Each structure stands twice: as C-alpha cells, then as structure tokens.
C-alpha cells in the first residue's frame, strides 16, 4: 500500500514586507495573558502560559484543523507505505530558524525524540516506532513495529504538550531539564532580554517566516504574523485589567473573569466572545505517592462529596450557558464521552463522604492544597474543595501562592512535611481530553505519569487496547471500560466545565476559533 498526503496550495506565501519598526509605525498587540510565563520550555511543562508562548515562537510538523484532522504544517506532506509501517515526511521550503539557519530533518528528529519522552501521545508513538531516521536534509522516516495510523495526529495535536521543533543543539537537552535557548522557527521570535517573569514578555515578528498558503483552521493553515510585536503584560488584579481594556491601554485579554464580562460587554469598543467552544474542564488532582491519597478508598470518599454544579457556579455564576456538568473523564462534546462507572460522582453527599472517609481509615493526616491565587477559576474551585474537605473532617492546610510557585511546588515528590503537596487543581481544554490518546490525566504509569503519579496497570492496559482498536465503535467501548476503571482508581476528580470568553478591542481583527490561545492572523487597525 502507498498513500500520499500532499496538499495543493502549500506553496510558500510571499515574504513579508520590511519591518514596520524600520518605517516608524509598528503595530503592537498588547495582551493581558491568563497567567505568568515562568518556564520557557513547552516540553518540560504543560503550563498554558508556556504553551501559548511556544505557539508564538515555534512551529509543528503537522497541525490539526478545526475537525482535528492532521494537515501538513512544516511538512510539505507525507507518504505512508509498507502497509502502514513506513511514514516519510518531507519538509517544505523555505523554513528557517530565528538565527537564520535552515530547518533540517535532523532538527525534527531530535525534537521528536525529546518530546516523546514526556508527552503521553508521544510515548505511545515511541512504543510503536522501531526506528526514526534522517533520510536527507528535507526527509525523515518513521519505521514502525506495526501500523499506527495516528502518527500525523500525534505530531500535530493542539493540546499540551505539542511537538514543537527546535534546533538540534537545543533538542538534545535532557527532557528532564529545561531549555535555556529559545530559538525557534515560528512566526515570532522571543525577546529574551526583555523578559521579566511575572511582569512582561515580548515577541517580535520573524521576518524570515513564510506562512502556509491555506486559510487558517484552528491551528492548521497559514500562521501569519500580522503585527510587528506582541507584548504580554501581567495584570494580576482583574478590575485593573478590565480598566486597562476599557481605556484602550490593552488590546486583548486572554481570560477575563466571569464577574466582569457584563461590564466589558457594555463597552461598545470591546468584543467578548469565546474562542474555544470545547469548554474548559476543571479537575482535582491527588498526590498518590503519600498519605492520605495513596489510599484509593479515601480518594473515592472525596469524589462522593463533589457536586460539579457547586464548583462551576463558583467559577461562572448563574449565567445561562456559561457552564455545565460532565461526570466523566472525556470531554462531553467528544465521541468518547459516556456515563460508565460514574456513580461515585452522582453521590453528591458530604455526609456519605464523611462516613466513607472514616471507614477508609483516615487518621487526621495533613492535606496540603496548593492554590494559584492569581488564577481566578483555580482559586474558586480550590475554595470549594477546601470547604468540602473541612466539612468531611479532613485536616486542611490551604497554601495560597502564585501560579509560578504552584508549578514549581507540584514538581515535588516529597511528603508534605518536607515541602510536598496533597492536592492541586488544574484546567484543561475540552480538546485536551477528547480521548485516551490526548488525555494526559488518565495516564497511570507511576513515576512516568503526570504530577500526582498514579499507578494503575489495569488502566494502562485499557489505554493500550484503545490504541489498538480497529474501528471507532470499538474505541468507544474500550473508552467506556477505561472510564469505569478510572472511577475505581481515580487519577483525578472531574469538576465540570465552563465556557471561557476572551475580550478584545474592536480595532483588533482576524480573531478566529481555536482550542488554545494563539496570536497569529490577528491584526490591529487604527
């Protein structure tokens, strides 16, 4: 069998004109980001701010469109042969890094090998790969042990962490250590000398970037840098951020809090709309290495107390259509959603949860909840959890901190007495949890799992079976079995979803639907 994926219209667009900076009329997109940029490495962390930063400065080999179909991005196309066991990708021209060096196959191979050590989808691709080889400067090949039809989907996924391409010298960095060199080949370059963590980050248009010729569709198609400079300014206080938007001091706000949306909507100079309509899903993550949550019965007891509507009202209030419940591990808008095994989440009783906690043998161990108080939705759901656990009789230590400090602390595998943690809350887009392929949170492979490090071999076996399923109906059946198992071991507790709007001034054009936050194709007039 031979199959080719080469799209028409992939010819490079004309090179962009001379920098507007040189002409004295630079277009600057001023952005209020959702969180601090504390790490520059999108392979090392799944933090949304790092992901959004990475989409500005890096590119991907493939990219999924609005229907989650993988399309060529840096690739001109690919050829599948040998009954699905050979995938050859050919890079389009010209592709250049920010330092002027050409992007070569050796850069792609090194980047893939670093990425697939840490990413859950990438780990499966690695397991299916017998050899990943450079053929020449423009071509590289996957030689697979057995057919794996999701190669292009893995390389081009929109959810964290993406396979971003870096120069070989950078990609050779140990995956467990953060990179310091931010050279990419994407539409913007990072101004490292202007970066002040927790204050500002700036990006300048990469004049050597040649976008694809196709219209944008989610993260696929032409990634066109239409402004000369993007400036992130961290404004922790939401009222101050709203004031800056209304005064025209800022152009775009990633995630205005729901309480301020009516105020912003009343301003005729501001547009308030969601870009990601798949929903933002809130989750309670346990540290399963240490007491009390190394005990699955205690995790079950916590889940019995959860009423998703309480959590989502705390985030989004009572605005119609602003939130919903989803008592499962896969996005309710996706094909893998089901009610399998979710009886524990339908309990919604603190009294029953308290009795279950006592029966499970809880002995008063301290429960440290780390909370990023500069993230309003995280703070809201954390406060609901703290109240529930106190009412259940747990010994709560509510540690209020900033987003960057929370990200650092959750790395710790120490017990709480030595600076560790017990619970934190996180948010993922619906696109991030559509299936076992992309839902990082249902991995249960112990020390290799995401923060919290759950271990459940049965869950891992079902996930492997899902990848090997021959058709969508079989995948749906296995996903239901996987979810049933997950409700027994509880890698996390689903807390519901809300619809997050962005806000931008009316002189900002080209904002398009996308399941993440990207700033290419956005223009500014006046």
Q: Do both 39 and 184 map to the same domain?
A: yes
d(CA 168, CA 177): 16
Residue 453: inside a domain, yes or no? Answer: yes
Structural domain span for residue 392: 280-498
Q: Do both 334 and 450 map to the same domain?
A: yes
Residue 10: inside a domain, yes or no? Answer: no
Residue 242: inside a domain, yes or no? Answer: no
CATH code of the domain containing 307: 3.10.105.10
Structure tokens at 130: 């017998």
Q: What is the pTM of this model?
A: 0.87
Q: Do both 439 and 296 map to the same domain?
A: yes
Q: Do both 423 and 450 map to the same domain?
A: yes
d(CA 40, CA 441): 22
Burial 472-491 (b: 16+ CB within 10 A, else e): eeebbbbbbbbbbbbbebbb
Question: How many domains, the chain?
Answer: 2
Q: Do both 490 and 506 map to the same domain?
A: no
509's CB contacts (< 8 A; 6+ apart) are: 522, 523, 524, 525
Structure tokens at 447: 């020390």
Q: What is the pLDDT along the chain (526 residues), one digit of tens a residue?
A: 344 454 433 333 333 333 444 445 789 999 999 988 999 999 999 888 999 999 999 999 999 999 999 999 999 999 999 999 999 999 999 999 999 999 999 999 999 999 999 999 999 999 999 999 999 999 999 999 999 999 999 999 998 789 999 999 999 999 999 999 999 999 999 999 999 988 999 999 999 999 999 999 999 999 999 999 999 999 999 999 999 999 999 999 999 999 999 999 999 999 999 999 889 999 999 999 999 999 999 999 999 999 999 999 999 998 888 999 999 999 998 999 999 999 999 999 999 999 999 999 999 999 999 999 989 999 999 999 999 999 999 999 999 999 889 999 999 999 999 999 999 999 999 989 999 999 999 999 999 999 999 999 999 999 999 998 878 999 999 999 999 999 999 999 999 999 999 999 999 999 999 999 999 999 999 7
């Amino acid at each position: 069998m031979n199959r080719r994926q080469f799209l028409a219209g992939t010819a490079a667009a004309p090179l962009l004109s001379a920098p507007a900076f040189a002409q004295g009329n630079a277009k600057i997109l001023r952005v209020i980001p959702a969180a601090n940029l504390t790490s520059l490495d999108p392979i090392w962390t799944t933090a949304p701010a790092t992901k959004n930063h990475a989409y500005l400065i890096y590119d991907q080999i493939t990219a999924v469109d609005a229907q989650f179909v993988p399309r060529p991005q840096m690739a001109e196309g690919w050829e599948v042969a040998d009954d699905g066991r050979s995938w050859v990708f050919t890079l389009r021209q010209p592709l250049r890094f920010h330092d002027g060096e050409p992007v070569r196959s050796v850069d792609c191979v090194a980047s893939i090998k670093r990425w697939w050590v840490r990413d859950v989808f990438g780990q499966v691709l690695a397991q299916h790969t017998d050899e990943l080889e450079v053929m020449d400067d423009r071509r590289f090949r996957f030689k697979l042990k057995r057919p794996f039809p999701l190669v292009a989907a893995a390389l081009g996924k929109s959810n964290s962490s993406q396979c971003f391409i870096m120069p070989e010298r950078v990609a050779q960095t140990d995956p467990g250590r953060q990179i310091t060199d931010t050279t990419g080949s994407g539409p913007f370059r990072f101004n490292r000398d202007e970066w002040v963590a927790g204050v500002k980050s700036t990006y300048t248009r990469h004049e050597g970037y040649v976008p694809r010729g196709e219209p944008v569709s989610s993260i696929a198609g032409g990634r066109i840098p239409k402004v000369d400079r993007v400036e992130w300014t961290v404004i922790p206080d939401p009222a101050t951020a709203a004031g800056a938007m209304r005064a025209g001091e800022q152009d775009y706000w990633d995630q205005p809090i729901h309480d301020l949306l009516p105020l912003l909507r009343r301003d005729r100079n501001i547009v308030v709309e969601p870009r990601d309509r798949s929903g933002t899903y809130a989750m309670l993550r346990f540290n399963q290495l240490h007491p009390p949550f190394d005990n699955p019965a205690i995790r079950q007891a916590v889940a019995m107390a959860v009423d998703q509507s309480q959590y989502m009202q705390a985030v989004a209030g009572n605005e119609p259509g602003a939130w919903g419940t989803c008592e499962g591990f896969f996005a309710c808008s996706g094909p893998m959603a089901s009610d399998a095994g979710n009886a524990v989440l339908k309990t919604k009783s603190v009294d029953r949860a308290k009795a279950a906690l006592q029966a499970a043998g809880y002995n008063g161990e301290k429960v440290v909840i780390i909370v990023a108080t500069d993230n309003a939705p995280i703070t809201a759901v954390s406060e609901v959890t703290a109240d529930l656990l106190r009412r259940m009789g747990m010994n709560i230590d509510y540690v209020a901190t900033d987003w960057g400090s929370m990200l650092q602390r959750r790395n710790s595998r120490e017990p709480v007495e030595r600076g560790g943690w017990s619970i934190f809350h996180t948010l993922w887009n619906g696109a991030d949890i559509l299936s076992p392929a992309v839902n990082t949170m249902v991995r249960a492979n112990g020390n290799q799992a995401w923060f919290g490090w759950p271990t459940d071999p049965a869950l891992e076996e079902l996930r492997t079976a899902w990848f090997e399923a021959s058709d969508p109906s079989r995948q749906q059946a296995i996903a239901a079995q996987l979810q049933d198992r997950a409700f027994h071991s509880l890698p996390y507790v689903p807390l519901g979803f809300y619809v997050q709007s962005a806000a931008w001034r009316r002189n900002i054009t080209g904002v398009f639907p996308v399941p993440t936050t990207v700033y290419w194709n956005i223009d500014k007039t006046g």
